[in-house]
Amino acid sequence: MDILKKISVSIQHGDDQSVFTLTKRAIEMNIPPKDILDHGLIDGMNIIGDKFKHHEIFLPDVLLAARAMYAGMDQLKPLLVKDGIPSMGKVVIGPVRGDLHDIGKNLVGIMLKGAGFDVIDLGKDVPPEKFVNTATIEGAKIIGMSALLTTTMPVMKEVITILRNQNLTDKIKTIIGGAPLSKEYARQIGADVYAYDAANAVESVKQLIQK
């Protein structure tokens, strides 16, 4: 089996030690970092994302695969930067103010990183201004907001209001997700997209960034 395929398979098995060793070897073999990323790490995470989407695996499997992905990504990051390889784009994510639930947001972060995006994770309980300021400073084109609580979801609208007031809605797109949300809610508050799960979030971000 070719080494990149091996990396992909090790990611799917959540074997972080193998991914670390194999990535190191692939770099030593002078395989271009971008190829290791695309055909090793991203390939593995794509398969994991797909299986998760179809309920073939569950959250623990995704989290272990992510840990394995980071074991390779940490080595590749500096090389990708050195090679001047642009990422797929920057995305700022976080649960909105008052919401301390970050499991879903973390999952979205993992899937986005696994798809080659630069993710700026603001932690949890993120104030509306912080979303906008970070996106502006970092040059991120997407803000992703999550809420698990019906009580915190109205905060999403505040973020969109700030973007509108600063005439940023063309430059910065918004995507929302979380158990109590819906497409209808996204429309009501003026968010660009509602993502119903983590895999759908990645697809939607890809589409938004191409616009």
Q: How far is CA 151 from CA 38, 129, 183, 194, 201, in A?
A: 40, 19, 18, 18, 22
Nearest distance, CB of residue 153 and another protein, angstroms: 8
CA 144, 50, 208, 83 dihedral sign is: positive
Q: Of 38-46, 63-71, 113-121, 133-141, which segment contacts another protein by CB under 8 A?
A: 63-71
Work out whether 57 is an interface residue with another protein (CB under 8 A).
yes
- Rule CB under 8 A: choose which of 26, 64, 111, 198 binds another protein: 64
Q: Give me 145's structure tokens.
A: 């907001």
The binding track of 181-200 with respect to another protein, each residue x by CB under 8 A or -, is: -x-xx--x------------
Q: Is 143 exposed, middle or buried (0-12, 13-18, 19+ CB in 10 A)?
A: buried
CA distance 147 to 16: 30
State which residue, 58 or 171, has the beta carbon closest to another protein.
58
Residues that bind another protein (CB under 8 A): 54-55, 57-61, 63-64, 67, 97-101, 103, 125, 149-155, 180, 182, 184-185, 188
